[in-house]
Chains A and B, each alone.
With several copies, the nearest count.
Chain A
Amino acid sequence: MMEYTDKVMHEFQNPKNVGEIPDADGIGEVGSPACGDIMRMYLKISDDGIVEDAKFKTFGCGAAIATSSKATEMIKGRTVEEAAKLTNSEVVEELDGLPTEKIHCSVLAAQAIGAAIEDYHKRKGDHSKQQ
Protein backbone atom coordinates (compact mmCIF):
# COMPACT_ATOMS: atom_id res chain seq x y z
CA MET A 1 0.00 0.00 0.00
CA MET A 2 2.74 2.43 0.91
CA GLU A 3 4.13 3.19 -2.49
CA TYR A 4 5.37 6.62 -1.49
CA THR A 5 7.27 8.78 -3.93
CA ASP A 6 10.92 9.53 -3.33
CA LYS A 7 9.98 13.05 -2.31
CA VAL A 8 7.58 11.80 0.35
CA MET A 9 10.18 9.44 1.73
CA HIS A 10 12.81 12.16 1.70
CA GLU A 11 10.48 14.54 3.52
CA PHE A 12 9.55 11.83 6.01
CA GLN A 13 13.19 11.10 6.70
CA ASN A 14 14.26 14.75 6.88
CA PRO A 15 11.26 16.63 8.15
CA LYS A 16 11.69 20.40 8.32
CA ASN A 17 10.21 22.57 11.04
CA VAL A 18 9.58 19.90 13.63
CA GLY A 19 8.97 21.39 17.04
CA GLU A 20 7.14 24.11 18.86
CA ILE A 21 7.22 27.89 18.78
CA PRO A 22 6.99 29.00 22.41
CA ASP A 23 5.65 32.47 21.61
CA ALA A 24 3.55 31.45 18.63
CA ASP A 25 0.93 33.87 17.31
CA GLY A 26 -1.40 31.06 16.34
CA ILE A 27 -1.69 27.38 17.24
CA GLY A 28 -3.98 24.92 15.53
CA GLU A 29 -4.63 21.28 16.17
CA VAL A 30 -6.70 18.81 14.18
CA GLY A 31 -7.27 15.06 14.17
CA SER A 32 -7.52 12.61 17.03
CA PRO A 33 -5.49 9.68 18.21
CA ALA A 34 -8.46 7.42 17.56
CA CYS A 35 -8.24 8.29 13.90
CA GLY A 36 -4.51 7.75 13.92
CA ASP A 37 -3.54 11.33 13.08
CA ILE A 38 -3.03 14.48 15.11
CA MET A 39 -1.31 17.59 13.86
CA ARG A 40 -0.43 20.61 15.90
CA MET A 41 0.72 23.64 13.95
CA TYR A 42 2.53 26.68 15.40
CA LEU A 43 2.77 29.93 13.43
CA LYS A 44 4.88 33.02 14.03
CA ILE A 45 3.36 35.92 12.14
CA SER A 46 4.94 39.32 11.65
CA ASP A 47 3.11 42.58 12.25
CA ASP A 48 2.53 43.03 8.53
CA GLY A 49 0.89 39.63 8.33
CA ILE A 50 3.70 37.50 6.94
CA VAL A 51 4.25 33.92 8.13
CA GLU A 52 7.75 34.23 9.53
CA ASP A 53 7.99 30.79 11.03
CA ALA A 54 5.95 27.61 11.14
CA LYS A 55 6.56 24.49 13.16
CA PHE A 56 4.59 21.30 13.65
CA LYS A 57 4.20 18.25 15.78
CA THR A 58 2.50 15.28 14.23
CA PHE A 59 1.27 11.93 15.44
CA GLY A 60 0.60 10.04 12.27
CA CYS A 61 1.72 8.01 9.33
CA GLY A 62 4.42 8.78 6.81
CA ALA A 63 2.07 10.82 4.67
CA ALA A 64 0.97 12.89 7.63
CA ILE A 65 4.54 13.69 8.64
CA ALA A 66 5.70 14.43 5.10
CA THR A 67 2.76 16.73 4.36
CA SER A 68 3.21 18.53 7.69
CA SER A 69 6.81 19.21 6.82
CA LYS A 70 6.14 20.25 3.24
CA ALA A 71 3.16 22.45 4.17
CA THR A 72 5.13 24.39 6.77
CA GLU A 73 7.86 24.96 4.18
CA MET A 74 5.34 26.17 1.65
CA ILE A 75 3.65 28.80 3.80
CA LYS A 76 6.78 30.38 5.20
CA GLY A 77 7.11 33.87 3.72
CA ARG A 78 3.53 33.93 2.52
CA THR A 79 0.98 36.40 3.79
CA VAL A 80 -1.58 35.01 6.20
CA GLU A 81 -4.22 35.30 3.47
CA GLU A 82 -2.11 33.33 1.03
CA ALA A 83 -1.21 30.77 3.68
CA ALA A 84 -4.86 30.25 4.47
CA LYS A 85 -5.48 29.40 0.84
CA LEU A 86 -3.02 26.50 0.83
CA THR A 87 -4.84 23.38 -0.32
CA ASN A 88 -3.92 19.82 0.29
CA SER A 89 -3.66 19.18 -3.43
CA GLU A 90 -0.90 21.79 -3.70
CA VAL A 91 1.00 19.99 -0.95
CA VAL A 92 0.41 16.60 -2.55
CA GLU A 93 1.61 17.96 -5.86
CA GLU A 94 4.81 19.24 -4.32
CA LEU A 95 5.42 15.71 -3.05
CA ASP A 96 4.87 14.17 -6.50
CA GLY A 97 1.63 12.59 -5.37
CA LEU A 98 0.37 10.27 -2.65
CA PRO A 99 -1.30 6.85 -2.80
CA THR A 100 -5.09 7.28 -3.04
CA GLU A 101 -5.67 5.76 0.39
CA LYS A 102 -3.38 8.42 1.84
CA ILE A 103 -5.04 11.54 0.47
CA HIS A 104 -7.18 11.83 3.59
CA CYS A 105 -4.00 12.14 5.70
CA SER A 106 -2.81 15.04 3.60
CA VAL A 107 -5.87 17.19 4.21
CA LEU A 108 -4.87 17.48 7.85
CA ALA A 109 -1.85 19.70 7.20
CA ALA A 110 -3.89 22.35 5.40
CA GLN A 111 -6.58 22.02 8.04
CA ALA A 112 -4.07 22.49 10.88
CA ILE A 113 -2.70 25.61 9.21
CA GLY A 114 -6.25 26.89 8.80
CA ALA A 115 -6.90 26.25 12.48
CA ALA A 116 -3.70 28.05 13.49
CA ILE A 117 -4.59 31.06 11.37
CA GLU A 118 -8.06 31.08 12.86
CA ASP A 119 -6.45 31.07 16.30
CA TYR A 120 -4.21 33.95 15.23
CA HIS A 121 -7.17 36.03 14.14
CA LYS A 122 -9.02 35.19 17.32
CA ARG A 123 -6.10 36.31 19.47
CA LYS A 124 -5.86 39.52 17.52
CA GLY A 125 -9.54 40.07 18.18
CA ASP A 126 -10.01 40.14 14.47
CA HIS A 127 -13.42 38.58 14.55
CA SER A 128 -14.28 39.40 11.00
CA LYS A 129 -11.70 36.81 9.85
CA GLN A 130 -13.02 34.06 12.01
CA GLN A 131 -14.71 31.27 10.16
Chain B
Amino acid sequence: MKRIYLDNAATTPVDERVLKEMLPYFCEKFGNPSAVYTEAHEAKFAIEAARLQVAKAINADPKDVYFTSGGSESDNWALKGVAFKNRAKGNHIITTAIEHHAILHTCEFLEKEGFDITYLPVDDQGLISLDDLKAAIRDDTILVSVMFANNEIGTIEPIEAIANVVKEKGIIFHSDAVQALGNIPIDVKKLNVDMMSFSSHKIYGPKGVGALYIRKGVPIEPLIHGGAQERRRRASTENVAGIVGFGKAAEIASEELEDNMAHLKALRDALIKGVLGKIPQVRLNGHPVKRLPGNANFCFDYIEGESILLSLDLIGVAGSSGSACTSGSLDPSHVLLAIGLPAGVAHGSLRLTIGRHTTMDEIHYVVDNLVEIIERLRKMSPIDAQSPIDDAVYHH
Protein backbone atom coordinates (compact mmCIF):
# COMPACT_ATOMS: atom_id res chain seq x y z
CA MET B 1 0.00 0.00 0.00
CA LYS B 2 1.42 3.38 -0.98
CA ARG B 3 1.33 5.59 2.08
CA ILE B 4 -0.24 9.03 2.06
CA TYR B 5 1.61 11.43 4.32
CA LEU B 6 -0.50 14.29 5.64
CA ASP B 7 1.54 15.30 8.67
CA ASN B 8 3.85 17.76 6.96
CA ALA B 9 3.46 20.28 9.78
CA ALA B 10 5.10 17.75 12.11
CA THR B 11 8.03 16.94 9.87
CA THR B 12 8.92 16.51 6.22
CA PRO B 13 11.15 14.07 4.35
CA VAL B 14 14.56 15.38 3.38
CA ASP B 15 14.50 16.51 -0.25
CA GLU B 16 16.81 14.42 -2.46
CA ARG B 17 18.52 17.61 -3.63
CA VAL B 18 19.19 18.52 -0.01
CA LEU B 19 20.66 15.14 0.90
CA LYS B 20 22.92 15.33 -2.14
CA GLU B 21 24.45 18.57 -0.86
CA MET B 22 24.91 17.12 2.62
CA LEU B 23 26.61 13.86 1.71
CA PRO B 24 30.19 15.10 1.19
CA TYR B 25 30.23 16.58 4.70
CA PHE B 26 30.01 13.29 6.57
CA CYS B 27 33.01 11.20 5.56
CA GLU B 28 35.12 13.49 3.40
CA LYS B 29 34.76 17.18 4.22
CA PHE B 30 34.50 16.50 7.90
CA GLY B 31 36.93 19.13 9.22
CA ASN B 32 36.24 21.18 12.32
CA PRO B 33 35.22 24.57 10.89
CA SER B 34 37.09 26.48 13.60
CA ALA B 35 40.51 25.02 12.86
CA VAL B 36 43.48 26.34 10.94
CA TYR B 37 44.08 23.73 8.28
CA THR B 38 42.68 23.14 4.82
CA GLU B 39 40.00 20.65 5.92
CA ALA B 40 38.58 23.35 8.15
CA HIS B 41 38.15 25.91 5.41
CA GLU B 42 35.82 23.86 3.26
CA ALA B 43 33.63 23.23 6.28
CA LYS B 44 33.64 26.88 7.21
CA PHE B 45 32.85 28.02 3.68
CA ALA B 46 30.00 25.53 3.52
CA ILE B 47 28.51 26.93 6.73
CA GLU B 48 28.77 30.50 5.52
CA ALA B 49 27.19 29.59 2.20
CA ALA B 50 24.30 27.98 4.08
CA ARG B 51 23.97 31.05 6.27
CA LEU B 52 23.62 33.13 3.15
CA GLN B 53 20.94 30.80 1.79
CA VAL B 54 18.91 31.01 4.99
CA ALA B 55 19.43 34.77 5.19
CA LYS B 56 18.19 35.23 1.63
CA ALA B 57 15.08 33.19 2.32
CA ILE B 58 14.06 35.61 5.09
CA ASN B 59 15.71 38.79 3.77
CA ALA B 60 18.15 39.02 6.68
CA ASP B 61 21.73 40.12 6.98
CA PRO B 62 23.64 36.79 7.03
CA LYS B 63 25.49 37.95 10.16
CA ASP B 64 22.17 37.95 11.99
CA VAL B 65 21.48 34.26 11.32
CA TYR B 66 22.64 31.84 14.04
CA PHE B 67 22.39 28.09 13.58
CA THR B 68 20.88 25.98 16.36
CA SER B 69 19.77 22.38 16.85
CA GLY B 70 16.14 23.11 15.91
CA GLY B 71 13.06 25.17 16.50
CA SER B 72 12.83 24.29 20.18
CA GLU B 73 16.36 25.41 20.91
CA SER B 74 15.77 28.64 18.97
CA ASP B 75 12.64 29.35 21.02
CA ASN B 76 14.34 28.52 24.32
CA TRP B 77 17.32 30.63 23.41
CA ALA B 78 15.27 33.65 22.34
CA LEU B 79 13.26 33.71 25.56
CA LYS B 80 15.84 32.67 28.14
CA GLY B 81 18.61 34.57 26.39
CA VAL B 82 16.72 37.85 26.49
CA ALA B 83 15.21 37.20 29.91
CA PHE B 84 18.51 36.49 31.67
CA LYS B 85 20.33 39.28 29.87
CA ASN B 86 17.75 41.98 30.50
CA ARG B 87 16.57 41.16 33.98
CA ALA B 88 17.91 44.45 35.25
CA LYS B 89 15.48 46.26 32.93
CA GLY B 90 12.41 44.29 33.92
CA ASN B 91 10.98 40.85 34.42
CA HIS B 92 7.76 40.96 32.45
CA ILE B 93 7.27 38.92 29.27
CA ILE B 94 4.20 38.74 27.04
CA THR B 95 3.29 35.78 24.89
CA THR B 96 0.11 34.05 23.75
CA ALA B 97 -1.98 31.13 24.92
CA ILE B 98 -1.49 29.25 21.64
CA GLU B 99 2.31 29.14 21.39
CA HIS B 100 4.17 25.91 20.83
CA HIS B 101 5.26 24.11 24.00
CA ALA B 102 8.83 25.17 23.29
CA ILE B 103 7.66 28.69 24.17
CA LEU B 104 5.07 27.86 26.83
CA HIS B 105 7.19 25.46 28.86
CA THR B 106 10.11 27.87 28.65
CA CYS B 107 7.80 30.52 30.07
CA GLU B 108 6.83 28.20 32.92
CA PHE B 109 10.51 27.75 33.72
CA LEU B 110 11.05 31.51 33.61
CA GLU B 111 8.13 31.96 35.99
CA LYS B 112 9.94 29.72 38.46
CA GLU B 113 12.98 31.95 37.96
CA GLY B 114 10.98 34.99 38.99
CA PHE B 115 9.72 36.30 35.66
CA ASP B 116 6.15 37.42 35.23
CA ILE B 117 4.43 36.15 32.10
CA THR B 118 1.25 37.40 30.47
CA TYR B 119 -0.46 34.92 28.15
CA LEU B 120 -2.61 36.80 25.63
CA PRO B 121 -5.91 35.09 24.79
CA VAL B 122 -7.04 34.48 21.20
CA ASP B 123 -10.44 34.69 19.56
CA ASP B 124 -12.32 31.66 18.26
CA GLN B 125 -10.26 31.71 15.07
CA GLY B 126 -6.97 31.91 16.92
CA LEU B 127 -6.10 35.58 16.44
CA ILE B 128 -4.74 37.77 19.22
CA SER B 129 -6.05 41.30 19.56
CA LEU B 130 -3.78 44.32 19.27
CA ASP B 131 -5.78 46.02 22.00
CA ASP B 132 -5.12 43.15 24.39
CA LEU B 133 -1.45 43.42 23.53
CA LYS B 134 -1.33 47.17 24.10
CA ALA B 135 -3.12 46.78 27.40
CA ALA B 136 -0.68 44.09 28.52
CA ILE B 137 2.48 46.09 27.87
CA ARG B 138 4.01 47.48 31.07
CA ASP B 139 7.03 49.57 31.95
CA ASP B 140 8.91 46.44 32.96
CA THR B 141 8.03 44.46 29.82
CA ILE B 142 11.30 43.28 28.27
CA LEU B 143 10.09 40.87 25.62
CA VAL B 144 7.04 39.98 23.54
CA SER B 145 6.86 36.65 21.72
CA VAL B 146 4.03 35.89 19.31
CA MET B 147 4.16 33.03 16.84
CA PHE B 148 3.87 33.78 13.13
CA ALA B 149 1.66 30.81 12.25
CA ASN B 150 0.13 28.28 14.58
CA ASN B 151 1.24 24.69 14.17
CA GLU B 152 -2.14 23.15 14.98
CA ILE B 153 -4.85 25.33 13.54
CA GLY B 154 -2.69 27.17 11.00
CA THR B 155 -3.84 30.66 11.95
CA ILE B 156 -1.45 33.41 10.81
CA GLU B 157 -0.98 36.26 13.28
CA PRO B 158 -0.57 39.87 12.05
CA ILE B 159 3.14 39.94 12.91
CA GLU B 160 4.00 43.23 11.24
CA ALA B 161 1.26 45.10 13.09
CA ILE B 162 2.20 43.39 16.35
CA ALA B 163 5.88 44.18 15.85
CA ASN B 164 5.10 47.82 15.27
CA VAL B 165 3.16 48.08 18.52
CA VAL B 166 5.94 46.35 20.43
CA LYS B 167 8.88 48.13 18.85
CA GLU B 168 7.27 51.53 19.37
CA LYS B 169 7.62 50.87 23.08
CA GLY B 170 11.27 49.88 22.66
CA ILE B 171 10.56 46.30 23.64
CA ILE B 172 12.26 43.29 22.05
CA PHE B 173 9.98 41.28 19.76
CA HIS B 174 10.40 37.59 18.97
CA SER B 175 8.30 35.44 16.68
CA ASP B 176 8.30 31.66 16.30
CA ALA B 177 8.20 31.26 12.52
CA VAL B 178 8.88 27.52 12.46
CA GLN B 179 5.59 26.86 10.65
CA ALA B 180 5.79 29.93 8.45
CA LEU B 181 9.10 29.27 6.70
CA GLY B 182 8.57 27.78 3.27
CA ASN B 183 4.80 28.22 3.53
CA ILE B 184 4.30 31.97 3.48
CA PRO B 185 6.67 34.82 2.57
CA ILE B 186 8.98 36.02 5.33
CA ASP B 187 10.86 39.30 5.31
CA VAL B 188 12.35 39.99 8.70
CA LYS B 189 13.13 43.59 7.80
CA LYS B 190 9.65 44.41 6.59
CA LEU B 191 8.09 42.51 9.49
CA ASN B 192 10.26 44.55 11.86
CA VAL B 193 10.99 41.61 14.17
CA ASP B 194 14.06 41.43 16.41
CA MET B 195 14.26 37.66 16.60
CA MET B 196 12.69 34.79 14.70
CA SER B 197 12.89 31.00 15.16
CA PHE B 198 13.19 28.48 12.32
CA SER B 199 13.52 24.72 12.00
CA SER B 200 15.03 22.81 9.08
CA HIS B 201 12.99 19.61 9.19
CA LYS B 202 9.76 21.48 8.50
CA ILE B 203 11.03 22.54 5.08
CA TYR B 204 12.42 19.27 3.71
CA GLY B 205 15.76 19.74 5.43
CA PRO B 206 17.35 17.43 8.00
CA LYS B 207 16.13 17.11 11.58
CA GLY B 208 18.25 18.49 14.41
CA VAL B 209 19.08 21.85 12.88
CA GLY B 210 17.41 25.23 12.98
CA ALA B 211 18.20 28.89 13.25
CA LEU B 212 17.53 31.93 15.32
CA TYR B 213 17.51 35.27 13.57
CA ILE B 214 18.86 37.92 15.96
CA ARG B 215 18.87 41.43 14.67
CA LYS B 216 22.17 43.16 15.30
CA GLY B 217 22.23 44.86 18.69
CA VAL B 218 19.64 42.74 20.47
CA PRO B 219 21.08 42.00 23.91
CA ILE B 220 20.97 38.24 24.43
CA GLU B 221 22.79 35.70 26.56
CA PRO B 222 23.82 32.40 24.93
CA LEU B 223 21.77 29.32 25.75
CA ILE B 224 24.66 26.99 25.00
CA HIS B 225 27.85 28.48 26.40
CA GLY B 226 31.29 27.27 25.43
CA GLY B 227 33.45 27.61 22.33
CA ALA B 228 33.59 30.59 20.01
CA GLN B 229 31.33 29.18 17.30
CA GLU B 230 28.50 31.21 15.74
CA ARG B 231 30.19 34.51 16.52
CA ARG B 232 30.58 33.43 20.15
CA ARG B 233 26.83 33.14 20.65
CA ARG B 234 26.15 29.43 20.23
CA ALA B 235 28.86 27.02 21.25
CA SER B 236 29.47 23.47 19.97
CA THR B 237 31.24 22.02 16.97
CA GLU B 238 28.97 22.94 14.09
CA ASN B 239 26.65 20.33 12.60
CA VAL B 240 28.17 21.01 9.19
CA ALA B 241 26.20 18.49 7.14
CA GLY B 242 22.97 19.50 8.88
CA ILE B 243 23.62 23.19 8.32
CA VAL B 244 24.46 22.61 4.66
CA GLY B 245 21.20 20.69 4.31
CA PHE B 246 19.19 23.41 6.00
CA GLY B 247 20.77 26.01 3.72
CA LYS B 248 19.85 24.09 0.60
CA ALA B 249 16.35 23.43 1.91
CA ALA B 250 15.87 27.13 2.61
CA GLU B 251 17.07 28.00 -0.87
CA ILE B 252 14.67 25.58 -2.50
CA ALA B 253 11.84 26.69 -0.21
CA SER B 254 12.22 30.32 -1.16
CA GLU B 255 12.77 29.66 -4.86
CA GLU B 256 9.67 27.50 -5.06
CA LEU B 257 7.58 29.42 -2.54
CA GLU B 258 4.91 30.74 -4.89
CA ASP B 259 4.38 27.48 -6.73
CA ASN B 260 4.35 25.60 -3.48
CA MET B 261 1.78 27.92 -1.91
CA ALA B 262 -0.52 27.60 -4.91
CA HIS B 263 -0.18 23.82 -4.84
CA LEU B 264 -0.84 23.56 -1.10
CA LYS B 265 -3.79 25.92 -1.22
CA ALA B 266 -5.54 24.09 -4.05
CA LEU B 267 -5.27 20.78 -2.25
CA ARG B 268 -6.14 22.19 1.14
CA ASP B 269 -9.27 23.86 -0.21
CA ALA B 270 -10.35 20.64 -1.90
CA LEU B 271 -9.80 18.78 1.35
CA ILE B 272 -11.74 21.27 3.44
CA LYS B 273 -14.56 21.46 0.91
CA GLY B 274 -14.76 17.68 0.72
CA VAL B 275 -14.81 17.11 4.45
CA LEU B 276 -17.22 19.91 5.31
CA GLY B 277 -19.46 18.94 2.40
CA LYS B 278 -19.61 15.19 2.95
CA ILE B 279 -19.44 14.74 6.70
CA PRO B 280 -22.05 16.07 9.12
CA GLN B 281 -21.27 17.53 12.54
CA VAL B 282 -17.80 18.71 11.69
CA ARG B 283 -16.12 22.06 12.17
CA LEU B 284 -13.02 23.66 10.68
CA ASN B 285 -10.67 24.98 13.35
CA GLY B 286 -8.60 28.12 12.81
CA HIS B 287 -9.11 31.09 10.56
CA PRO B 288 -10.91 30.49 7.25
CA VAL B 289 -8.57 32.76 5.27
CA LYS B 290 -5.60 33.78 7.42
CA ARG B 291 -4.31 30.25 7.61
CA LEU B 292 -1.28 28.29 6.43
CA PRO B 293 -1.78 27.14 2.85
CA GLY B 294 -1.25 23.48 3.77
CA ASN B 295 -3.18 23.30 7.02
CA ALA B 296 -6.61 21.73 7.60
CA ASN B 297 -7.81 21.09 11.14
CA PHE B 298 -11.22 19.61 11.90
CA CYS B 299 -13.23 18.59 14.92
CA PHE B 300 -15.59 15.67 14.46
CA ASP B 301 -18.23 15.60 17.16
CA TYR B 302 -18.78 12.47 19.27
CA ILE B 303 -15.56 10.67 18.45
CA GLU B 304 -12.00 10.73 19.66
CA GLY B 305 -8.99 11.77 17.61
CA GLU B 306 -6.63 8.87 18.15
CA SER B 307 -9.17 6.38 16.92
CA ILE B 308 -9.51 8.45 13.74
CA LEU B 309 -5.74 8.47 13.31
CA LEU B 310 -5.48 4.73 13.81
CA SER B 311 -8.24 4.12 11.32
CA LEU B 312 -6.51 6.38 8.82
CA ASP B 313 -3.18 4.68 9.46
CA LEU B 314 -4.80 1.34 8.63
CA ILE B 315 -5.74 2.63 5.20
CA GLY B 316 -2.29 4.14 4.70
CA VAL B 317 -2.83 7.74 5.76
CA ALA B 318 -0.68 9.61 8.30
CA GLY B 319 -2.27 12.53 10.14
CA SER B 320 -2.24 14.04 13.62
CA SER B 321 -4.61 15.07 16.36
CA GLY B 322 -4.82 17.41 19.32
CA SER B 323 -6.32 14.57 21.33
CA ALA B 324 -4.78 14.00 24.74
CA CYS B 325 -4.20 10.42 23.74
CA THR B 326 -1.68 11.49 21.14
CA SER B 327 0.02 14.27 23.04
CA GLY B 328 1.47 12.24 25.88
CA SER B 329 -0.54 14.35 28.33
CA LEU B 330 -3.98 13.99 29.85
CA ASP B 331 -5.31 17.21 28.42
CA PRO B 332 -6.32 17.87 24.85
CA SER B 333 -4.50 20.52 22.84
CA HIS B 334 -4.11 23.84 24.65
CA VAL B 335 -4.62 25.56 21.30
CA LEU B 336 -8.06 24.04 20.76
CA LEU B 337 -9.04 24.91 24.31
CA ALA B 338 -7.75 28.47 23.77
CA ILE B 339 -10.05 28.97 20.77
CA GLY B 340 -12.91 28.01 23.06
CA LEU B 341 -13.63 24.38 22.21
CA PRO B 342 -14.95 22.21 25.05
CA ALA B 343 -12.47 19.49 26.00
CA GLY B 344 -14.81 16.78 24.74
CA VAL B 345 -14.83 18.31 21.29
CA ALA B 346 -11.11 19.06 21.28
CA HIS B 347 -10.41 15.36 21.79
CA GLY B 348 -12.02 14.73 18.43
CA SER B 349 -9.69 16.84 16.35
CA LEU B 350 -7.85 15.81 13.23
CA ARG B 351 -5.04 17.79 11.63
CA LEU B 352 -4.14 17.01 8.04
CA THR B 353 -1.23 19.03 6.69
CA ILE B 354 -0.44 18.99 3.02
CA GLY B 355 3.08 18.97 1.62
CA ARG B 356 5.08 19.39 -1.52
CA HIS B 357 4.54 15.76 -2.49
CA THR B 358 0.80 15.52 -1.85
CA THR B 359 -1.46 14.95 -4.87
CA MET B 360 -5.10 15.70 -5.60
CA ASP B 361 -5.79 11.98 -5.95
CA GLU B 362 -4.55 11.47 -2.44
CA ILE B 363 -6.88 14.16 -1.17
CA HIS B 364 -9.85 12.52 -2.85
CA TYR B 365 -8.90 9.14 -1.42
CA VAL B 366 -8.66 10.61 2.07
CA VAL B 367 -11.99 12.44 1.89
CA ASP B 368 -13.83 9.38 0.60
CA ASN B 369 -12.39 7.12 3.27
CA LEU B 370 -12.83 9.63 6.03
CA VAL B 371 -16.58 9.64 5.41
CA GLU B 372 -16.69 5.92 6.19
CA ILE B 373 -14.28 6.07 9.12
CA ILE B 374 -16.19 8.81 10.87
CA GLU B 375 -19.48 7.02 10.32
CA ARG B 376 -18.09 3.77 11.68
CA LEU B 377 -16.58 5.37 14.78
CA ARG B 378 -19.72 7.34 15.47
CA LYS B 379 -21.70 4.13 15.45
CA MET B 380 -19.48 2.91 18.26
CA SER B 381 -19.85 6.10 20.26
CA PRO B 382 -22.19 6.41 23.24
CA ILE B 383 -22.74 10.08 22.41
CA ASP B 384 -24.64 11.65 19.53
CA ALA B 385 -26.82 14.63 18.75
CA GLN B 386 -29.77 12.97 20.51
CA SER B 387 -27.89 12.06 23.67
CA PRO B 388 -25.04 14.49 24.08
CA ILE B 389 -23.16 14.24 27.28
CA ASP B 390 -21.82 17.31 28.86
CA ASP B 391 -18.42 17.70 30.33
CA ALA B 392 -19.18 16.26 33.74
CA VAL B 393 -16.76 13.73 35.12
CA TYR B 394 -18.32 10.34 35.83
CA HIS B 395 -17.09 7.51 37.95
CA HIS B 396 -13.36 7.93 37.38
Contacts and interface: CB of A to CB of B under 8 A. Distances in A.
A111 B393 CA distance: 14
B222 to A, nearest CB: 19
A35 B330 contact: yes
B396 A30 contact: yes
B391 A33 contact: yes
B310 A2 contact: yes
A18 interface: yes
Contact of B344 (A2, A33, A61, A63): A33
Interface in A28-86: 29-40, 57-65
A16 B342 CA distance: 30
CB-based closest 4 A-B pairs: A33-B344, A61-B306, A57-B382, A34-B343
Interface string A92-131: 0000000001100101100100010000000000000000
B216 to A, nearest CB: 16
A21 interface: no
A2 B342 contact: no
A107 B395 CA distance: 12
A3 interface: yes
Contacts of B306: 2, 61-62
Given A32-B394, A115-B395, A18 B344 contact: no
Contact of B394 (A12, A30, A57, A58): A30
A7 to B, nearest CB: 14
B396 A2 contact: no
A1 to B, nearest CB: 6
B307 A12 contact: yes
Contacts of A111: 395-396
Interface size class of A (residues with CB under 8 A): 35 or more
Interface in B297-340: 302-307, 309-310, 314, 323-326, 328, 330, 332
Interface size class of B (residues with CB under 8 A): 35 or more
A34 B344 contact: yes
A19 B44 CA distance: 36
B379 interface: yes
A13 interface: yes
Secondary structure of the A contact surface, majority rule? mixed
B332 A59 contact: no
A39 B345 CA distance: 16
12 contacts: A2-B326, A4-B310, A9-B310, A29-B382, A32-B391, A34-B343, A34-B344, A36-B304, A59-B304, A61-B304, A61-B307, A64-B307
A15 B380 contact: yes
A61 B392 contact: no
Contact of A34 (B309, B342, B379): B342
A9 B324 CA distance: 19
B302 A59 contact: yes
Contact of B324 (A3, A36, A107): A36
Nearest to A41: B382
Given A2-B310, A37-B304, A38-B382, A29 B326 contact: no
A1 B344 contact: no
Nearest to A62: B310
Contact of A32 (B44, B314, B323, B393): B393
A86 B394 CA distance: 20
A60 B307 contact: yes
Given A32-B389, A33-B383, A59-B382, A38 B394 contact: yes
Given A36-B343, A58-B382, A111-B395, 15 more contacts: A2-B36, A29-B395, A32-B344, A32-B392, A33-B390, A35-B396, A36-B347, A38-B381, A39-B382, A57-B380, A60-B304, A60-B325, A61-B304, A63-B325, A102-B325
B314 to A, nearest CB: 6
Interface in B325-379: 325-326, 328, 330, 332, 342-345, 347, 379
B34 interface: yes
Contact of A61 (B323, B342, B383): B323
B325 A105 contact: yes
Contacts of A31: 394-396
Nearest to B324: A36
Interface in B264-318: 302-307, 309-310, 314
B215 interface: no
Contacts of A32: 344, 389, 391-394
Contacts of B382: 29, 38-40, 57-59
Q: Which of B309, B390, B391, B394 has its CB near the most chain A CB atoms (within 10 A)?
A: B394
B41 interface: yes
B395 A30 contact: yes
A36 B379 contact: no
A35 B328 contact: no
Nearest to A39: B382
A101 B380 CA distance: 23
Nearest to B34: A1
